[in-house]
C-alpha cells in the first residue's frame, strides 16, 4: 500500500484527491491536509465582494465529501515538509507520512510587500472568501458616501483577471444604482499595457480592454509601482509620469504572490520566491516523489517588463496539471516512468456584471496555436453555469474534465458556423 498525501484542498488540491482515489482504487491510502475545513470556489469571490453571492453559496464542508470517497481529511495547516523523511508536518506538530506528495497549497498573499496594502490595512481584497465578505461590508459603507475608486494589481502580481473583473463589476453596479457620476475610477497595474495579463496579451486583449475602459470612463496607469498606501490615498510611480498621489475612498489591489512557508522552508524544493520548481511531469526537480500543481508552482515570466509581473495559473491550466500529476503518481506506484504532461493552456472567463470577456491562449506561453479574446453576454452566463457545475462536481467527487470539453465544443460550433 502506498500513502499519497495532498496538501491543499482548493481548485487544484480537491480534484487531485478525487483523481487519485479514482485512479488508485481502495488499495492505496489518500490523505488531504488543508488549513480550511471548507472548500471555497475562488473564482466567485468578486461576486461575493459585490453582494451578488454569499460565502455559503460558494462553499461546502470538505470532511463529509472526502469521507464518502474514503479519503482521510486532516483540517490543519501544514507548517513544514520534510522531503528526506517523507512527512508533512502539521500546525499541531503531527507528522503525516507519505510515499508520494502532491503540493496544491496555493500561495501566500504578499500584502506586506507594499506598505498599507491589504484588508488588515487600507485596501480590500477578493483573494479569499473572508476577504470578499469584508470587501462587501466596506462597499456598502462606501455607497453611503461615494467617492474615488482605485482598482488594480501591485508590482509582482500575477493574477490580473480578478482586478479587471472587479473594476467592471463596480462600474456596472454603480450605474444601476445611479451613482456612477459621483465615482471617478482609476485602474492601476504593473502590466506594461492594459490587457497584458502577465501573458504578453491574449488575442487583441489590449485593444478590447482599452476600448472598454474608454467606453466606461475608467482611467488607467500602467507600468505602475505602488510605493505606499494611506487610508485615503496611494503614492504610485508610473514610468515617465513619475510619482503621483491617487486619492480614493475605496480601493482593491491584487497583491504579489509568494510560496507558503511550509513549501519555501523545504531545502531544494522551491525558488527564492517560494514556488515549487517542477519538471514537465509536474514533478519536483529535486525530489522524485513530490509533485506540485496550481498557483504554488514556479513559472518564469513570459517576457521582461519594466515593472515585474508574474504569470497567472488559470483553472484550465490547473486542471491539466492535476490530470498529469495524478497519472504520473499512479505510474510511479506501478513502477512505470512518468509520461503525462500538462498542456499549460489558458482559458479565462472574466465577468463584467452583465456581460463578460473570454480569453483563450493555447498554449499559455507564446508562441501559440490559438489566441483570442471575445466579449459577449454568453461569457457572463457561462461563468455562472460553470460555477454551479464545478461546485456540484466537487461535492459529488466527480473527476471528469470540463475545460477540455468546453474548448472542443466551442471549436465545433465555430466550424459549423463557417460551414
Q: Considering 65, 127, 159, 296, which one is annotated as catalytic?
A: 159
Cα separation, 276 vs 280, in Å, equals: 13
Nearest C-alpha neighbor of 144 from the set 253, 250, 251, 51: 250
Q: At what angle do helices 315-333 and 13-24 cross, to 10 degrees?
A: 30
Strand 95-97, strand 87-90: pairing? antiparallel
DSSP label at residue 82: E
Q: Yes or no: say if 266 and 81 are a contact pair by the CB < 8 Å rule.
A: yes
Q: Considering 65, 127, 296, 348, which one is annotated as catalytic?
A: 348
Query: Does the active-site annotation cover 65?
Result: no
If you write DSSP's letter for every residue of 108-161 in order, what string do you get? EE-GGGSTT-STTTTSB--SSHHHHHHHHHHHHHHHHS---EEEEE-TT----H
Q: Yes or no: say if 11 and 106 are a contact pair by the CB < 8 Å rule.
A: no
Give Cα separations from 395 to 68, 253, 323, 359 (angstroms): 10, 31, 19, 28
C-alpha cell at 340: 503525462
C-alpha cell at 189: 497595474
Cα separation, 2 vs 30, in Å, equals: 9
If you write DSSP's letter for every residue of 283-343 in order, what string do you get? BBSS-TTEEE-GGGB----SS--SS-------HHHHHHHHHHHHHHHHHHHTT--------
Cα separation, 332 vs 31, in Å, equals: 18
Q: Yes or no: say if 148 and 248 are a contact pair by the CB < 8 Å rule.
A: yes
Cα separation, 374 vs 229, in Å, equals: 34
Query: Does the active-site annotation cover 296?
Result: no
Strands (E), 177-298: 185-189, 218-221, 224-229, 233-238, 243-247, 250-254, 257-258, 290-292
Residue numbers annotated as active site: 159, 348
Amino acid at each position: 500500500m502506498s500513502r499519497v498525501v495532498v496538501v491543499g484542498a482548493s481548485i487544484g488540491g480537491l480534484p487531485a484527491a478525487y483523481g487519485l482515489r479514482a485512479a488508485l482504487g481502495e488499495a492505496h491510502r489518500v490523505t488531504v491536509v488543508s488549513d480550511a475545513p471548507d472548500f471555497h470556489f475562488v473564482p466567485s469571490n468578486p461576486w461575493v465582494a459585490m453582494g451578488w453571492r454569499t460565502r455559503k453559496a460558494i462553499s461546502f464542508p470538505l470532511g463529509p465529501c472526502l469521507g464518502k470517497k474514503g479519503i482521510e481529511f486532516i483540517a490543519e495547516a501544514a507548517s513544514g515538509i520534510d522531503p528526506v523523511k517523507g512527512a508533512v508536518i502539521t500546525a499541531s506538530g503531527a507528522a503525516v507520512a507519505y510515499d508520494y506528495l502532491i503540493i496544491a497549497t496555493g500561495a501566500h498573499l504578499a500584502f506586506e510587500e507594499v506598505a498599507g496594502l491589504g484588508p488588515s490595512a487600507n485596501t480590500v481584497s477578493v483573494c479569499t472568501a473572508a476577504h470578499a465578505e469584508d470587501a462587501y461590508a466596506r462597499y456598502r459603507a462606501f455607497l453611503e458616501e461615494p467617492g474615488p475608486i482605485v482598482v488594480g494589481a501591485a508590482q509582482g502580481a500575477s493574477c490580473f483577471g480578478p482586478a479587471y473583473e472587479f473594476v467592471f463589476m463596480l462600474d456596472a453596479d454603480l450605474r444601476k444604482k445611479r451613482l456612477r457620476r459621483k465615482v471617478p475610477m482609476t485602474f492601476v497595474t504593473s502590466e506594461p499595457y492594459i490587457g497584458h495579463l502577465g501573458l504578453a496579451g491574449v488575442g487583441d486583449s489590449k485593444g478590447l480592454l482599452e476600448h472598454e475602459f474608454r467606453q466606461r470612463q475608467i482611467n488607467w496607469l500602467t507600468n505602475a509601482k505602488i510605493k505606499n498606501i494611506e487610508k485615503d490615498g496611494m503614492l504610485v510611480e508610473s514610468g515617465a509620469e513619475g510619482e503621483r498621489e491617487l486619492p480614493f475612498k475605496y480601493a482593491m489591489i491584487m497583491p504579489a504572490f509568494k510560496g507558503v512557508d511550509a513549501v519555501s522552508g523545504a531545502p531544494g524544493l522551491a525558488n527564492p520566491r517560494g514556488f515549487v520548481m517542477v519538471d514537465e511531469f509536474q514533478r519536483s526537480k529535486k525530489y522524485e516523489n513530490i509533485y506540485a500543481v496550481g498557483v504554488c508552482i514556479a513559472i518564469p515570466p513570459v517576457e521582461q517588463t519594466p515593472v515585474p509581473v508574474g504569470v497567472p495559473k488559470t483553472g484550465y491550466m490547473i486542471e491539466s496539471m492535476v490530470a498529469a500529476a495524478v497519472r504520473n503518481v499512479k505510474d510511479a506506484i506501478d513502477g512505470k516512468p512518468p509520461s503525462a504532461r500538462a498542456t499549460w493552456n489558458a482559458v479565462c472567463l472574466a465577468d463584467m456584471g452583465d456581460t463578460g470577456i473570454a480569453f483563450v491562449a493555447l498554449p499559455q506561453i507564446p508562441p501559440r496555436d490559438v489566441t483570442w479574446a471575445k466579449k459577449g453576454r454568453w461569457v457572463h452566463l457561462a461563468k455562472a453555469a460553470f460555477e454551479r457545475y464545478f461546485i456540484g462536481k466537487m461535492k459529488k467527487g466527480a473527476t471528469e474534465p470540463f475545460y477540455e470539453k468546453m474548448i472542443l465544443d466551442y471549436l465545433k460550433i465555430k466550424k459549423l458556423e463557417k460551414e
